[in-house]
Amino acid sequence: MPPKQASGSQKRKRGTQIKKLIKSQTGAMHKFLKRLDPKPHVEEQEQGIEVDVEDEDDVEEEDDVDVEDEDDVEDEDHKGPKRDLNTESGPVNSRGRKFSNTIYTRTLSNLEKSDRNWLVYSKELDKMFCFCCKVFRKGAPKGSLDGEGYDDWNHASNRVKEHEVSMEHLINMNKWHEMRKRLKLNATIDKVQYEQLKKERDYWKEVLIRIVALVKFLAKYNLAFRGSNEKLHQKGNGNFLGLIEMLEEFDPVIKEHVRRITSDKVHVHYLGHNIQNEPEQRSAK
């Protein structure tokens, strides 16, 4: 037999029981959760946002410093030719063609742009050159770019493309980059000679500063420069050499200079009457 259906009264009674059960369970989950004050929570979030913004500012400032440092490194590392950036194009030749600075840029297979920093253009000669090949090539030039210059603007683009993939160009580029690294690290072969030259240059600079100061002092007070002779450590050698002897006692630069003179290590010492007259004449002007 099919199950007996509930009557209308039973259905209403069951519906009432379900509503009471639902009402009794309302808010039952609240006892398992901890209620927080919404206002302080919002303030904490706002404070957190402010802190984050300040941190982002700090990061931006640090990023700015990094960018400047990278620019300095690039400037220091750039030991190549200097281009006239104001020259966008050259003069028109007899064929109606001219140089364009767009040739400085190379488009790679992935459509990226690369600067041909080895390529330079002379506006006076109206020719372009390969810097590294002209400087580092061995023997006679094998083309116009590493020799007298290239000025066939009808075929300039193709000629540059052929040159930049040639073996000679790649070898010279490698030499150029190696030289740039050595210059940056101050590790070239002539480092010792350069240091000696720099030291000697600074030495003569200090000597001349003192000599000019003595000449200006004597001229200011209208004192005689020379005596009866022009030799150091002798009587009657005049006020100028007398002051040199006095400075020798406590000034290391003049002391070294006098030592070189007396030991015949230098013959041009700038203590004669010619060097005395020249600053005096220049000061009078």
pLDDT tens sequence across 53-102 = 444 444 344 444 343 444 444 444 445 677 777 777 778 888 888 888 88
Give the 3-state secondary structure of residue 113. strand
pLDDT at 56: 42
pLDDT at 75: 46
pLDDT tens sequence across 158-182 = 999 999 999 999 999 998 888 888 7
pLDDT at 190: 73
Residues in the chain: 285
pLDDT at 74: 43
Q: Which positions of the chain have pLDDT values less than 50?
A: 40-78
Count of CB atoms situated within 10 Å of the CB of 169: 21
Nearest to 133 by CA among 166, 111, 107: 166
pLDDT at 29: 62
The values of phi and psi at residue 93, to 5°, are -85, -170
pLDDT at 208: 92
d(CA 27, CA 54): 42
